[in-house]
Amino acid sequence: MPRTSEYLLIGGSAAAGTFALTYPVKWLANRLGWVVAPDARRVHTVTTPDVGGIAMFGGFLVALGVSRLLGSFDELFSTSELLGVLIGATVIFLVGLLDDVREISAPAKVAGTVAAGLVLVWYGVTMYYFRLPLVDVFLLATDWVPLITIVWLLGMSQAINLIDGLDGLAAGVVAIAASAFFLYSRELEGQTFLAEPNIGPLICIIAAGICIGFLPHNFNPAKIFMGDGGALLLGLLMATATTVVGGRSSPTQKFFGQSYFFFAPLFIPLLILGVPIFDTLFAIVRRASRRQGLATADKGHLHHRLMNLGHGQRRSVLILWLWTGLLSAFVLYPVYTNSGASLAVIGILALGLGLFTVLHPEARRTRARHSTMLVSRATGAIRAEPVDDDEIDDDEIDDDPLRA
């Protein structure tokens, strides 16, 4: 089994490759006009390149190349799975890049994602088991494997894509999530709950490295966006890692005092990636209630609502990073200990973060301004009911997107 230091070398090479390649990608994007201008639904104020996925894909290739040169990973390369991930990542990246450059239709993007999922299935990047908590572990029938693999890839890639709305948000969330999942999968390997060879830890550390290398260019004020090419690539990497780890950990071995440990393989991606997944579900419900298409863009995502509270881009991003970190800690703590008593500390931190989000002085001032605006609009009667953020036009909110 490869040493942790070798995995960190791979992650470092992914970060270094992505960071270095972003410079020529920015130059190329400005030269070719692969940029996005500010508009009514965007929060950035200057024209910005949006093809950072090119550098992220380059960092992915660099990391794979370095891992191939290290003899410790020969066992992983002896299977077809890494080749399948490489081809699938290429397919989904090109689909996203085409959308960034030319803007293709939503059905075309779905078709491209399905094609990438079929590549994964063809090369065996699938799960074997489906776990129902307190019920049983089910061996998946062959007929169900392609469908579950594709649906999981669609959900994960869309979740990452939807949360990519503020500078550094998606890259930071995935960096935290991938790092936490790497630690989790390594612990599974160490306890022999995960049959080797398994590509999950390698894919996790590469995803984390890509995001860490891209963040210096992408944090507010962003010099470049990852675009759909980068977001869909990250979605595929996280879908792959969670599939081969969560769906392959042994259903027969027992580990005393850790019943949670058995259920976590299926639900850890839902908890660790809880922020983007919740945002996706909330967006679907919101658009369905308004009778809008699921691909309709709006300003109702979690990060937009935080900005409407007055937090500004940087603080909104940091709040969502902290929530992702707390969710990750909640999942990892039972894995590394035999007691859940200290989870109360995580609960207290979560409560404190929630109170900070809602009761921050800037948030209170913004809510007061909203109420004043509604009162000033009244023609005869003062409106006393609670203010709903959805009733206020985003263009009328006095937000400075660059304010921390």
CA dist 320 and 324 (Å) reads: 6
What number is the average pLDDT over the span 354-372? 50
Residue 384 pLDDT > 50: no
pLDDT tens, position by position, 180-199: 889 888 888 887 778 788 99
DSSP state of 80: S
Q: How far is CA 4 from the centre of its chain?
A: 23
Contact (CB, 8 A) for 96 and 228? yes
Closest among 157, 162, 161, 127 to 142, alpha carbons compared:
127
pLDDT above 70: residue 122: yes
Rg (CA), the chain: 22
> Which segment of 18-32, 55-69, 157-171, 285-299 scores lowest on mean pLDDT?
285-299
Per-residue model confidence as pLDDT tens digits over 95-121 = 999 999 998 998 999 999 999 999 999
User: Beta strands of 225-349 (E only): which ranges?
Assistant: none
Query: Could you read off the pLDDT of 125-136 as tens digits, one per residue?
Result: 998 877 665 566
The residues pairing with 49 across neighbouring beta strands, listed in sequence order, are: 35
304-340 confidence digits (pLDDT tens): 555 555 556 677 677 777 777 877 777 777 667 655 5
* pLDDT on residue 177: 86
> At residue 172, does pLDDT exceed 70?
yes
pLDDT value, residue 373: 53
pTM for the model: 0.75
Confidence of residue 170 (pLDDT cuts 50, 70, 90): confident
- Provide the residue ranges of all domains of the chain, joining segments of one domain with +: 4-299
> Which residues 6+ apart lie within 8 Å of 347 measured at CB?
none
Q: What are the φ and ψ backbone dihedral angles of 43, each rounded to 5 degrees?
A: -100, -10
Contacts for 403 with CB less than 8 Å, ≥ 6 apart: 312, 313, 314
- pLDDT tens, residue by residue, 209-256: 999 999 999 988 889 999 999 999 999 999 999 888 877 776 665 443
Answer yes or no: is pLDDT of 395 > 80. Answer: no
- Residue 338 is predicted with a pLDDT of 58
300 three-state secondary structure: coil
Which pLDDT value is given to residue 221? Answer: 86
**Per-residue pLDDT reduced to its tens digit, 250-304:** 666 544 333 444 444 445 555 555 555 566 666 666 556 666 554 444 444 454 5
pLDDT of residue 92: 97
CB within 8 Å of 22: residues ≥ 6 apart = 52, 55, 213, 214, 217, 224
What is the average per-residue pLDDT within 373-385?
A: 47
Distance from chain centroid for Cα 306: 18
pLDDT score of 2? 86
What residues contact 64, with CB distance under 8 A and at least 6 apart?
82, 86, 206
Residue 266 CB: number of other CB atoms within 10 A?
19
Bigger pLDDT: 166 or 298?
166
Report the chain's mean pLDDT, rounded to a whole number: 76
- The residue length of the chain stands at 404
Two tokens, residue 84: 């399948």
Q: Is the pLDDT of residue 379 over 50?
A: no
At 393 the pLDDT is 38
Residue 394 has pLDDT above 90, yes or no: no
pLDDT of 187 reads 83
Q: What is the C-alpha to C-alpha distance for residues 154 and 117, in angstroms, rounded to an integer?
A: 8
C-alpha–C-alpha distance, residues 140 and 204, integer Å: 24
| Backbone phi and psi for residue 249, each to the nearest 5 degrees, phi listed first | -65, 145
What pLDDT does 132 receive?
Answer: 63
The larger pLDDT score, comparing residue 345 to residue 189, is at 189
Per-residue pLDDT of 47-87, as tens digits, reads 899 999 999 999 999 999 999 999 899 999 999 999 999 99
CB 180 within 8 A of CB 242: no
- pLDDT value at position 169? 84
Amino acid in the structure at residue 87: I
Helix (H, G, I), strand (E, B), or coil: what is residue 137? strand
